Structure 1
Amino acid sequence: LSPYLVYHEKIKTSKVYIRDCSVVSTYPLLLFAGGQLDIKTIDRYTVLYVDELIQFKTIFPKTAEVIKKLRFELDQLLADKISQPEMDLLTSSRGKKIIDCIVEVIKEC
């Protein structure tokens, strides 16, 4: 089970409550979380950071590079969609490749 939760709303009364929360695994968090994704090497590990707040260690540097590149491609694809609302992400060859790749990565979680 993943140690990460995403939530829609946080309310503070006498205690703090969160509503509409879901467990989220590592790869979706890395691909879809807002903020900057950085890679650093520490000792023998490659570490992915989301906004310097959340870190993920791997011994496979290539995995970190692939995730960072895939996130960059997704961000570019979404920017293209915003500037060209008529673009169909599933019929454009680039969009379909990126989405298919993301689906495969998430299925491995």
Structure 2
Amino acid sequence: MIKAIVCFSVLMVVCSAQRPYGLGLVPQAGLLVDDKPEPYQFGYNAADEYGTQWNRQEVADGSGAVRGSYGYRDASGIYRTVEYVADDVNGFRANVKSNEPGLISSAPAGVTYTVGNRK
């Protein structure tokens, strides 16, 4: 009788084991991915009811180089404008122009900060 209970218990454990479902890995034909850069351009200018203005423009050529700018100006005259270029040769470079309090002119890691006059 003990042998029957042990055999039945082992059979129950084996049968209750979770089985894989679905099709598993399905072989696929090679995927064709076209990662070639496409030229594009876009831009916008916007403002809110408090007098804050912001903008962005960007242009990309077919070689992967991107050039653009973005910025804002608040109602009190504080502004920040970022002009940037990114390409395969030199990476990302930016020129930041601002009159934000506490900002000093500097040039860390391919970014130039130029501080303008404050109001």
Task: Specify if TM > 0.5.
Answer: no
Give TM-score, length-normalised by structure 1: 0.23
Q: Looking at both structures, which has the greater relative contact order when contacts are Cα pairs under 8 Å and sequence separation is at least 6?
A: 1
By percentage of residues, which structure has more helix?
1
